[in-house]
Amino acid sequence: MATKETKKEEKKEEKKVVQKSAASKVVRQIIKGRVNIQATYNNTIVSISDMQGNVLGWSAAGKMGFRGPKKATPYAASIIVKDAIEKAKKYGLKEVQVFVKGVGAGREAAIRALHANGLDISTIKDITPIPHNGCRPPKVRRV
C-alpha cells in the first residue's frame, strides 16, 4: 500500500515541475515583422511573421466562422486581421511590411484594418502573380 501512495505523490510532483517550466517560458520580443495577405475571390487569409518568415499568428475567414460567399467580403477581412493581430500581440510587434497577393475584395480592407489595430505599416507590396502570356487557349469551336 505504501508503494502505491508514494507513486501517486511522485506523479503529482512531476506534474508540478512541468507546470512550472511551462509558466516560465520566455517570449521573444519582435518589433518588425511581415504580414502576408492572400485575397482571392473565395477567401481571405492573413499570416503575420517575423522578418525571417517564422509565423507568429495567422487567421482565415473560414476559421472565424464565415461561410460561402461571405468569406471574401471586406468585413470578413477586417475581422480576420483583428484575430491575427491578437495572436501576434504577445510578441510586441509594432512595425510591419505588408505583402498582398490576389484580386479579392478583402485586399484594401485588410490593410486598413492593420493600421486601425495599431500596427505601423512601413511598406505595401503587391506580389500577385501575373502570367507572361499564360496558358494556351482552347481551340476554336466549330459549329
The CB density around residue 79, as the number of other CB atoms within 10 Å, is 18
Asked, for residue 131, whether it belongs to a domain, the answer is no
CATH classification of the domain holding 101: 3.30.420.80
d(CA 67, CA 46) in angstroms, rounded, equals: 17
Asked, for residue 111, whether it belongs to a domain, the answer is yes
- The x, y and z cell numbers of residue 34, run together, are 511581415
Residue span of the structural domain in which 102 resides: 32-126
0.85 exceeded by pTM: no
Q: Which residues contact 36 (CB under 8 A, 6 or more apart)?
A: 46, 47, 49, 99, 101
Q: Which residues contact 60 (CB under 8 A, 6 or more apart)?
A: 43, 44, 45, 46, 80
Asked, for residue 69, whether it belongs to a domain, the answer is yes
Asked, for residue 117, whether it belongs to a domain, the answer is yes
Q: Dihedrals φ, ψ of 92, to 5°? A: 80, 30
Asked, for residue 26, whether it belongs to a domain, the answer is no
Asked, for residue 135, whether it belongs to a domain, the answer is no
Question: Number of folded domains in the chain?
Answer: 1
Asked, for residue 55, whether it belongs to a domain, the answer is yes
Asked, for residue 92, whether it belongs to a domain, the answer is yes
- The x, y and z cell numbers of residue 20, run together, are 512550472
Give, in order, the Cα–Cα distances in Å from 128 to each of 14, 72, 100, 139. Answer: 51, 17, 7, 28
From first to last of the 143 residues of the chain, give the pLDDT tens digit.
Answer: 556 666 555 555 444 444 455 566 788 899 999 999 999 999 999 999 999 999 999 999 999 999 999 999 999 999 999 999 999 999 999 999 999 999 999 999 999 999 999 999 999 999 999 989 999 999 999 98
